[in-house]
Structure 1
Amino acid sequence: MKQFALLLALPLVLAGCGTSAYMPNVPNVPMFTKKGELSAGGHVTPKGNITFNTAYAVSDHFGVLLNGSMLSSERRKRDLRHNLLEAAGGYFTTFGPEDNRILEIYAGFGGGSSERTEKEENKETGVMTYERYDANFSKYFLQVNFTSKRKKSLRLLNREFPLNYGTALRASYLNMHDYAVNNVPGELEDNIFLEPIFYTRLTLNPSVQLQYTSGTTIGLKNRDTLTAAYSVFAVGFVINVGGREKKN
């Protein structure tokens, strides 16, 4: 129990303080097993970036995803707004001695916007100065999910809560198509991000799971604005209906 509580507290300790036009969303990991399965989830980071994920299994091996994230934050030194919407489709399958492992491969695209205002107060005069950064970008990504449904559990309050573990490896290409600093056009940038992300799900009931997500972002190009300034640390809930029952 103490170890699990420590995991939940890590986002508050490890949240970064960098700045970038790109703030990664929590990957969509529906853990599909068969046709007709539906998944929906919501996650929040310590910075207040909220991710909504939905997914549907169109057939026994093909699923579609729709993801969105948003952030609106006003602080003494910085105001920040960030929006992202993306869609994807791909292949999933189960394997292992009891079909208790899931592999998913998705490719998708989307777009987003970022608005950042840096505020600085002159200590002598009290006059505030502002710098505003506005960016719009497109995103293309390839994502591979691996999840284990092996029988592990956490004993809490005299109850057993099953645990699932998994990894999402996401490669994203982002390309600015509009960028301005104080309404003056700036240099457009692109970048490739590698995002290894790990998650743990605690099953509250057959349909609802609590998810803890942690990961990092690696930028392959040296950029000033599209940088790997943010990592993924989030807590949320995932709802899955219509899935295959675990074998005893």
Structure 2
Amino acid sequence: MKHLLRLAFLLALSGLTGCASLYFPPPPHTPMLTHKGKFYGALSTNQHTNYALQGAYGLTNHLAAAGTFSSLHRRKSDRTENIDFAEASLGYFTRLPDKRVLEVYVGGGGGGTERIERDKEQLTTRTLDGSLSKVFAQVNYARKKRDNIHLFNRDFPLTYGAALRMSYMQLNNFRIDGLAAPGESNVFFEPITFTRTQIAGPVQLQFISGQIFGFRNNKYLKAANSVFQVGVVINLDRNTTLDK
């Protein structure tokens, strides 16, 4: 597992220098549900000021519903980017021996994207905008580590895991300076690893790192951004207790 974490960290660093894309990936959701009535909520962000709000709920002891809303609004010296994207999915989850959890999700999403490019004098040189659509399949795996982090005379339990997502993306209604332009499509593979540590009660701190790989050599819809998120997770059941 340590080797996987190192690899994910190196891939994340390599993605920071990628070219601008009209798509910024929201983090794959990793609720790791274990029974009916369990609720998962997460709020995370990263160095790109990309915010993600996620939630999931166990509808039965094996069926779950999940959703994500991701928002990126940032201004740089040469461009402004505005991307809002939402996803919804249904999944199957099961508890395995030795405190392990397996989940499989299928879903889709959509949103809008805009990029305003500027020259050195801060004059607009080009505006690109369009709509985004996605369908995806994802597999999650996690387990609770036997050892804890011992800090300030306290033990902080660890949970770690991985998620593998395959997505088909489309850039629709694409316009450049208000004029219709050909859209693009791509197939993305998004492997990530995550680590959680319990802070207090149902509240956990979560770190996500990974990368996005594109199978098509596009100009606008491409795998140019890594996945790195730090956030807070809340796991509650119907009795508002932490699932052990």
- Residue by residue, what CA displacement relative to the aligned partner does 1:20-66 show, whole Å, maximum 9, x if unpaired? 11110011111101000001001101001100001100000000001
Which residue matches 2:186? 191
Tell me if 1:143 matches 2:144.
no
Compared with structure 1, are the counterparts of its residues 114 and 209 closer, same or farther at alpha carbon in structure 2 (3 Å cutoff)? Answer: same
Distance 1:244 1:234 in 2: 23
Q: 1:115 aligned to 2:121?
A: no
Give me the CA root mean square deviation.
2.1
What's the CA shift for 1:113?
A: 1.2
Distance 1:155 1:119, change over 3 A: same
| Cα deviation, residue 188, structure 1 | 0.8
The 1:228/1:58 distance shift into structure 2, 3 A limit, reads same
**TM-score, length of structure 1 as denominator length:** 0.88
Q: What's the CA shift string for 1:61-94, capped at 9, x where partnerless?
A: 0000011100111222110100101100010001
TM-score by length of structure 2 reads 0.90
Select the residue among 184, 200, 205 that pairs with 1:205.
200
Q: In structure 2, how many angstroms separate the alpha carbons of the residues matched to 1:40 and 1:179?
A: 33
1:111-133 superposed Cα distances (whole Å, 9 cap, x missing partner): 01111111112xxxx57342111
Matched residue, 1:28: 29
Q: Conserved in 2, the CA contact under 8 Å of 1:101 and 1:150?
A: no
Q: Structure 1: where are the runs of 5+ without partners?
A: 1-5
Structure 2: state its 5+ residue gaps.
1-5
Radius of gyration: which is bigger? Answer: 1
**After the TM superposition, which of the residue ranges 150-159 and 195-204 deviates more from structure 2?**
150-159
Deviation at 1:11, TM superposition (A): 11
- Which of 218, 223, 227 is residue 228 of structure 1 equivalent to? 223
Q: Taking structure 1 as reference, are residues 20 and 134 closer, same or farther at Cα in structure 2, changes over 3 Å only?
A: same
The match for 1:86 is 87
The aligned counterpart of 1:104 is: 103
How far apart are the structure 2 equivalents of 1:215 and 1:12? 6
- Matched residues, number: 233
